[in-house]
Structure 1
Amino acid sequence: MAIRLPGLVESLRRRRAVAAWRQAAAAAPGMDPADLAALAPAARELSEAARRLSAEADRALLRPRIAQDGIARPPQCDWAWRPLPWAAALRPPVIAGVTGGTALAEGVTLFHDCPLAEITLRQSRRRDPDAPAPFALSLDALGFDGSFLSLALDLPRMGARGLRRSHIVAVKARVRRERPAEMFVRLNIRQGPNIEQLVSELMPANGAEAALGAEFDLGFQEINPDKLEHAWLDLIFERPAMNRVVVEDLTLARRPRADI
């Protein structure tokens, strides 16, 4: 689809539109509620469209030059994916005092049950030209007396609906921790009222402490492609109190399993 570059007149119109929205935002605290209610739907629609365009631009322009997207694909890989926190800029990039159920972006949510929200999430741009992911995500937790802390990542529709019993899904991560602590991944597959859950610990791969991995063999699961509605991955942090965990990259890759 060809997009015509804006000419002088269109550029002026765009600047005027941006200025008008800025003025409306500045005047919002003292604006009549009826006027705010009238402007809100258009503001939300504009914001969502701009957010999606910005995210796609980040994916296209900020991805590393090596191996296209930098994802290591196994032989016969038919789908690979890097979740949004490691592929595109989050807005805002830092969230302090994160409460349970906080959405970081579309399809990305942090869950925990700790009454003390002494948790900070920070996304940072990777400056190393050899870094496979354009962004890293760090989690700092001070006091934590809850029973769980996890980051839920919705799989894209293409990745979720394409899951079959003939697949193996591999998860790879690069992680740095101030203190030793286990990390787990859980693949959730919803089929109507039922949810299949597969859990695996992220373990060092290839002898590298920072390179972690896990695999899910779907051959032993009851998966019906016609009923499959949704799938997501939970990144689970064990004993997060007084620790800082930096996830420098996280990717998923799907390949066919060997016939037995």
Structure 2
Amino acid sequence: MANRSRYLLKALTRQATTFLFRNTHPSLQSLSFSSHFPNPSTSLPIFTKPLSAFAQCSNSRHFSSDKTSNHSNKVEDRSDQEEEDEDEEDFEDEEDYESGEEGEGYDDENASVSSRKKVYTEEEKEAEALDIGYKVVGPLHNDDRVFKPYEPVFAVVQIGSHQFKVSNRDSIFTERLKFCEVNDKLILNKVLLVGSDSQTIVGRPTVPGAAVHAVVEEHALDAKVIIFKKKRRKNYRRTRGHRQELTKLRITNIEGIEKPQNVVVEKPSKAAKGEQNKVPVTA
């Protein structure tokens, strides 16, 4: 009995579903395809339902993918435009360079280079050299006879922040002197003291009218000095090296004092020495 009741219930449900389906949905034969699907020659409508308020708007909606694509396209267009502008600027700069006119970029570069390397005029060079304590006369020629024999005269000169006692034909090493090259003649004008066998002149602070002439022999480097720094328990150690630039000067003449004349003392001959040693003997 239970099985039969289940079978009857299933049959009734099937009949009810078929009856409801027939009433709600018409058969395929009653449908006219011509009314719903027009001829292929005619343009098919995009929307079968009336358009919504958002769809009736003139502006179309952009989805995220469209935005990225449009943005990428805009970025590419901008980059292309910037490259074209840069190419045009480079071409204009090249034209200015070829024509001899410098643009703004060249002015900026020249300004930066000039700020790093100062350009001195002749007056500025001479003034700075005088402040250090020397004056550049000019290059040494082959016809110049500046080297003289030794004279018993000395002087104390100041070059920069150092003082040197010099005599004729002496050589000294000073810090690197600017605006002078090898074989240039110099005049050391800061003479603090001049002396000889007969007199001594002390300047206040310099001796008026005194000068020391010199020649630049070479520009060299001093011996290396190691600078080592350390801090205990701080893991701090620094090692640095330094070589000071030097200029070698050869003193040629000292002016501003009376020089004693060199008296030549003739040595007696051997015969004269023998006659002096002989003593007359009386009978």
- TM-score by structure 1 length? 0.21
Higher helix share: 2
Higher strand share: 1
- TM-score by structure 2 length? 0.19
